[in-house]
Amino acid sequence: MIFSLFFWLFLIGICKVSAAACNGNDALCSRKYSNITQIGAHDSAFVGDLPTDNQDLNVTGQLNAGIRFLTAQTHSFLDDIYLCHTSCWEEDSGVLVDYLTDIRTWMDSNPNEVVTLLLTNGDAIAVSKFADAYDNAGISKYTYTPPNQLALGDWPTLQDLISANTRLITFMDYNSDTATVSYILNNANSEISTTDDVTTSNFPDCSIDRPSGSNGAGLMYIVNHFLDINVLSTGILVPDKDSAPATNAATGTGSIGAQADLCTQQHGASPNVILLDFVDIGDPMTAQNNLNGL
């Protein structure tokens, strides 16, 4: 009698352990990567109190807060790849390899999490240099390489990615070349985005902005939900931090939920990614859960 009670407790214990959640939720394990909505940190490397900064939390803090999609702007500087805002003279957030090392360290201790990076490469740095940074950061081991160009319905589930330990998906906007580096995927083949640098606080628009001419059929899509201020109408845009509580709210006028609803009506599916500045402000995770039906 006592033995069988322990036996059942033991079995229950095993089941609990083996049914580890995927990106924080059991219900996401069986969902395809292309059928989840993720809140993303826009310009995730620009952290601090400068007017040009986009985030309060560093990348480790963003990951700890539940963010699994990160964008970063890269530039060629001092013969290396740096994370800089427009130019390294304006804002220099250090070398790519340090940023990747922070992400790798976090992924090492969080084995059930799938992370996505969207790197911009406006300086057309050779993609092999990015691979060097991945190798030096020790993060290449987690990269995901699709077997071929994936259609929307062909993406693996989160559980597939976690079981194979290929939990890092990388997209690049420019100069990717999968013949040279197989895991750095051309963003335009998989994702489209709405207009960025919006200065209208109710986010009334959800039309596709990039790549130009695409209607987005069959692709995942990214919504740019971060608000800028046009400083004294000079055309110089800086993040509107004061408005972030309303912009990053789950519901209400100009909120994440409100723009996502508009986009869902227009595109027939929920957004795959919603990019925010200041992911520590507002209630992004509630918005994400709502959009995933959790």
Ligand X SMILES: *[C@@H]1O[C@H](CO)[C@@H](O)[C@H](O)[C@H]1NC(C)=O
Q: Which residues are catalytic?
A: 42, 85
Residues 242 and 133: their CA atoms lie apart, in Å, by: 36
Q: How far is the CB of 213 from ligand X (least distance, A)?
A: 23
Pick the binder of ligand X from 44, 193, 272, 289 (CB under 6 A).
272
In this complex, which beta carbon is closest to ligand X, that of residue 83 or of residue 181? 83
In this complex, which beta carbon is closest to ligand X, that of residue 74 or of residue 270? 270
Q: Which two tokens stand for residue 180?
A: 């040279």
The CA-atom distances, in angstroms, between 214 and each of 22, 108, 185 are 32, 38, 18
Q: How far is the CB of 55 from ligand X (least distance, A)?
A: 11
Decide: is 102 part of the binding site for ligand X (CB under 6 A): yes
Under rule CB under 6 A, which residues in 251-270 are in contact with ligand X? 269-270
Q: Quick one: which segment of 34-42, 65-73, 177-185, 199-207 binds ligand X (CB under 6 A)?
A: 34-42
In this complex, which beta carbon is closest to ligand X, that of residue 102 or of residue 240? 102
In this complex, which beta carbon is closest to ligand X, that of residue 172 or of residue 223? 223
Q: How far is the CB of 261 from ligand X (least distance, A)?
A: 11
Residue 258 φ then ψ, to 5°: -65, -45
The 61-80 contact track toward ligand X, x by CB under 6 A, reads x-------------------
Q: How far is the CB of 36 from ligand X (least distance, A)?
A: 6
Of 195, 194, 177, 196, nearest to 186 by C-alpha is: 177
In this complex, which beta carbon is closest to ligand X, that of residue 31 or of residue 85? 31
Pick the binder of ligand X from 60, 86, 149, 199 (CB under 6 A).
60
Decide: is 35 part of the binding site for ligand X (CB under 6 A): yes
Q: Quick one: which segment of 56-64, 172-180, 189-197, 278-286 binds ligand X (CB under 6 A)?
A: 56-64
CA dihedral 39, 176, 205, 243 (to 10 degrees): 50
Q: How many residues bind ligand X (CB under 6 A)?
A: 10
Q: Quick one: which segment of 15-23, 30-38, 117-125, 196-204 binds ligand X (CB under 6 A)?
A: 30-38
Decide: is 37 part of the binding site for ligand X (CB under 6 A): yes
Q: How far is the CB of 230 from ligand X (least distance, A)?
A: 31
In this complex, which beta carbon is closest to ligand X, that of residue 155 or of residue 183? 155
For the chain, the DSSP string reads: -HHHHHHHHHHHHHHHHHS--BTTBGGGTTSBGGG--EEEETTTT-BSSSTT--BSS-HHHHHHTT--EEEEEEEEETTEEEEESSSTTT-EEEEHHHHHHHHHHHHHT-TT--EEEEEE-TT---HHHHHHHHHHHT-GGGB---SS---GGGSPBHHHHHHTT--EEEEESSS--TTTSTTEEEHHHHEEEE--SB--TT-----EEESTT---TTSEEEEE--BEEEGGGSS-EEE-GGGHHHHT-SSSTTSHHHHHHHHHHHHSS--SEEEES-TTSS-HHHHHHHHTT-
Q: How far is the CB of 142 from ligand X (least distance, A)?
A: 18
Pick the binder of ligand X from 52, 58, 140, 163 (CB under 6 A).
58
Return residues touching ligand X (CB under 6 A). 35-37, 58, 60-61, 102, 269-270, 272
